[in-house]
Amino acid sequence: MLGSARLVGGARHTEIPHIEGGPGTLVLMNHQSLMDIPLVVRALSPAYPRIVTRVRYAHGKPLISHMIRLYQYPTVDPGATGRAGLEELREQTASSHVPVVIFPEGTRTRDGSIGKFRRMGLRAILGGRSWNVWLVAVDGWWQSARLNDFIDNVSKVQGRMRAIGPFTSPAPGESVGAFIAEMERRMADLFAEVSGANAIAAGGEARILPSGREAD
């Protein structure tokens, strides 16, 4: 998908960061567009992650619904997930043998800005085990959020992406409120750095390469 966006659509993107991901790796990423999943998948290696996804995407969505079933993505229903659902989310993610990704805002913002964390699902995940937490901020894709927008605007994309971490989460049974607040603050600061960049990179355009590294 990233190769098609570059070769066919003309999108440009800075170097995609590398995150060493295995059991116990948790990625918190802001949510801007359809391309968030390919971007975070490219960043993580060697394992393909499990991504916490809205339950309404599990059926009737071409490609996405198939991916949810194939890769056993944990699903949540924001605003309607009860205690049993949160416990299931905690167990599914704690026992995962691959990295887990969550978009803690829960949804995209209309202007690409970063929203407040929705904490219930994140609290459940953090309560299941001790995690190595990475923060990932992406910008430049929000005007291509939906499929029609993507087709119209992909040639204008000047994407940027950065990651920081890992941060060790509290042990199971310990309070996670202060940790979540710190992650939210750090995520806002990281996004401000990414979105404040005036150009793809100093010295010229960047383009997505098959290796995920930035072009000279």
Domain boundaries, the chain: 2-195
Q: What is the pLDDT of residues 103-120, one digit of tens each?
A: 998 777 767 778 889 898
pLDDT averaged over the chain?
78
Higher-confidence residue: 113 or 204?
Answer: 113
- Give residue 31's pLDDT: 87
- Give residue 42's pLDDT: 86
Asked if the model's pLDDT at residue 207 lies above 50, the reply is no
d(CA 174, CA 39) in angstroms, rounded, equals: 32
What DSSP assignment string belongs to 14-68?
Answer: -PPP-EEE-TTEEEEE---STTHHHHHHHHEEESPPEE-EEGGGGSS-TTHHHHH
Radius of gyration of the chain measured on its C-alpha atoms = 17
What mean pLDDT is predicted for residues 128-151?
A: 78
d(CA 195, CA 131) in angstroms, rounded, equals: 27
Collapse the DSSP code of 138 into the 3-class scheme (helix H, G, I; strand E, B; otherwise coil) and give the result: strand
d(CA 90, CA 125) in angstroms, rounded, equals: 5
Q: The whole model's pTM is what?
A: 0.78
- Give residue 151's pLDDT: 61
What mean pLDDT is predicted for residues 54-82?
A: 71
d(CA 94, CA 23) in angstroms, rounded, equals: 9
Instruction: Take residue 18 and report the two structure tokens written for it.
Output: 């590398």
Instruction: Take residue 48 and report the two structure tokens written for it.
Output: 């393909």
